[in-house]
Amino acid sequence: MAIPQMTRTALNSIAPYLPELVANLPDVPEADVGFYVGMLASAFALAQLSSNFAWGYASDVIGRKPVLVAGTFCLMLCFLAFGFCQRYWQVVLVHALMGLLNGNAAAVPTVLGEVTDRSNQSKVFAYLPIVYSLGSITGPAAGGVLAGRLSSRYTYLAPNLFAAVLLATSVNVVAIWFQETLNADETAPEVPRWAKKLSAAVSRAIGFVGSLFRPCRGRAPPHNRSWSSRWPRPQSASGPRQALLSSAASDTSSDDEEDESPSDEAGEVDDKQGKVWREILNHTTILLLLTYLLFQLANISFNSLYPIFAAAPAPEGRELDPDQIGVALSLSGIATMFFQGIVFQPLKARRGNLGTYRLALFGLAVSMFLIPWIGYLSGTPPFGLATAKVWLFGELGLILIIKNVSAVAGLSSVMLLLPRLQAWGR
């Protein structure tokens, strides 16, 4: 749990000062700050999306621990570089690398699934958003408070050094104390057919180029085994084929066996993969994934727009400083952690995972509808009570709490619904 907490703290530390950072870059027009901040968020999300499956596949091949160590170490280097960025293209490049090299997003949920079973899975996955909430408390507060504290030339170096130290600590913790959760029998999954063909072609090309530089000593026997042919096959694919090797077929030559067995195996693998996809892509799965796509689209849009809205001058924004933005996010994170630890389980027991997910969708829509109606620092307090600043932070805090509670409730519900999708589709 320490890994996602430190990673989330580091990633959340950027949000409070990001609009100010972009606005101070010399190659960013003042009128287009919001557009350039949005491009940064899109670059991170697109990079993470493009590499998530690759990191997941790598964790199946080499294990969870190497992926966690490599991903966290690369993220640490990215934060060190982010503190020294002084051009927009540098900021975009490093921010995209943060998403591209963050292997924790793919490995952490897998590890949690491997160390739990149906008796405790719901409790463990319910605690994961609490860990994320801790990151949403410490990250924005650190980013907002530390911005501009260390160097006048590199204004945002201090929060990035703080994030890098956290990630370095996480690397050491994983390297020393984390025990591999991947079963040794599963460390070499079946290679897709396209990868086998590609590797065979590359092997032949390398062999041909190498033969050009070898002295001619006669014709060498053909070498048909590429690296992919040494990968272990699934038992289901090899078992039926061995059963077909009866005594009646013992007179068949070895050449005929080599010609027929790859096609038989390929057909069995195709049938197996087709069955898996038919079980996964049922109506319930598709519906849930589509709604969660819209849910995360709204959630990420809110996360990207809130710092811009809070930092922009009136009347478009609310003229808040980075430390005020970060403290508001941190206080809402405390309320979110309280909800996840105390309220979520009774709510889930009463409404169910699906009912809780519906409430989360509704709450996220309400928060996005209310955000433009927040008052101004220089406005008139309603009913003449308190001050405009108190009303602004009260309204802002309420909306952030609704949004964050909806986000963690939706995430928890979906993570608990996903293991049951296959049974629902039958």
Contacts of 272 (CB under 8 A, 6+ apart): 234, 236, 237
Contacts of 253 (CB under 8 A, 6+ apart): none
258-310 pLDDT, tens digit each: 444 555 555 565 666 666 666 666 777 888 889 988 998 898 889 888 988 99
Identify the CA nearest to 414 among candidates 357, 346, 340: 357
The reply to whether CATH 1.10.3720.10 applies to domain 1-181 is: no
Q: In the chain, which residues fall in CATH 1.20.1250.20?
A: 1-181
Q: How far is residue 109's CA from residue 357's CA, in Å, rounded to a whole number?
A: 19
Is the per-residue pLDDT at 360 higher than 90?
yes
Burial (CB < 10 A; 0-12, 13-18, 19+), residue 238, is: middle
Q: Please report the DSSP string for 70-104 in residue order.
A: HHHHHHHHHHHHHTT--SHHHHHHHHHHHHHT-TH
Is the per-residue pLDDT at 212 higher than 70?
no
What number of H helices and E strands is found in the chain?
Answer: 16, 0
Find the range with the poorest average confidence among 139-153, 159-173, 388-402. Answer: 139-153
69-90 pLDDT, tens digit each: 999 999 999 999 999 999 999 9
Contact between 73 and 85 under an 8 Å Cβ cutoff? The reply is no
Q: What percent of the chain has pLDDT over 70?
A: 72
Q: How far is residue 158's CA from residue 81's CA, in Å, rounded to a whole number?
A: 12
Predicted pLDDT at 206: 47
Mean pLDDT of the 249-262 span: 47
Alpha helices in 214-282, H assignment, sequence order: 235-243, 254-280
Is the per-residue pLDDT at 357 higher than 60?
yes
Identify the CA nearest to 221 among candidates 209, 207, 231: 207
Q: Is the dihedral of CA 31, 32, 33, 35 positive or negative?
A: positive
Q: Is the dihedral of CA 260, 263, 269, 270 positive or negative?
A: negative
Predicted pLDDT at 231: 39
The 3-state DSSP class for residue 182 equals: coil
What is the pTM (predicted TM-score) of this model?
0.70
Predicted pLDDT at 263: 55
Predicted pLDDT at 413: 86
User: If you average pLDDT over every residue of the chain, what do you get?
Assistant: 78
